[in-house]
Amino acid sequence: DSGVTQTPKHLITATGQRVTLRCSPRSGDLSVYWYQQSLDQGLQFLIQYYNGEERAKGNILERFSAQQFPDLHSELNLSSLELGDSALYFCASGSGRSNEKLFFGSGTQLSVL
C-alpha cells in the first residue's frame, strides 16, 4: 500500500459528460501529481499541485482542470468527455522538498462510452 488513495477505482460514463476523480496524498506529502496512462500515449504528466498551488502543467487538455484543497486532497475534473479520454488516471504524491520519490495511487480507470 503506497498510502495514496484514489477514488473511484472505476468510472463508466458517456460522451459529453463530466466526472471528478479524487486523490488523497500520503500523510505529510504536500505535492500531488496527476498522470494519464493510455495505450497510445503511454504515461503522460498532466498537472502538479504543491500545497494548494499549481506548480507545473503538462499535456493537460483545456477540458480538464484540477485543484488541491486545504486538506491537501486533490480533484481532477474532466468535462465534455470524448471516447479518447478513456484511460487510467493516476495520482502520485511527494514531499515537495526536492521530491526524490513519487508514490502512486492505484488509479482510476475511466471508460467513456
Partner 1 sequence: AQTVTQSQPEMSVQEAETVTLSCTYDTSESNYYLFWYKQPPSRQMILVIRQEAYKQQNATENRFSVNFQKAAKSFSLKISDSQLGDTAMYFCAFMKPSNFGNEKLTFGTGTRLTIIP
Nearest approach, Cβ of 43 to partner 1 (angstroms)? Answer: 4
Look up residue 44 and give its amino acid: Q
Cβ atoms of 48 and 59 within 8 Å: the answer is no
Look up residue 112 and give its amino acid: V
Applying CB under 8 A, which residues contact partner 1? 2, 30-31, 33, 35, 42-43, 45, 48, 50, 55-56, 58, 88, 90, 92, 94, 96-104, 106-107, 109
When the beta carbons of 14 and 27 are compared against partner 1, the nearer one is: 27
What is the Cα–Cα distance from 23 to 43, expressed in whole angstroms?
Answer: 18
Nearest approach, Cβ of 80 to partner 1 (angstroms)? Answer: 26
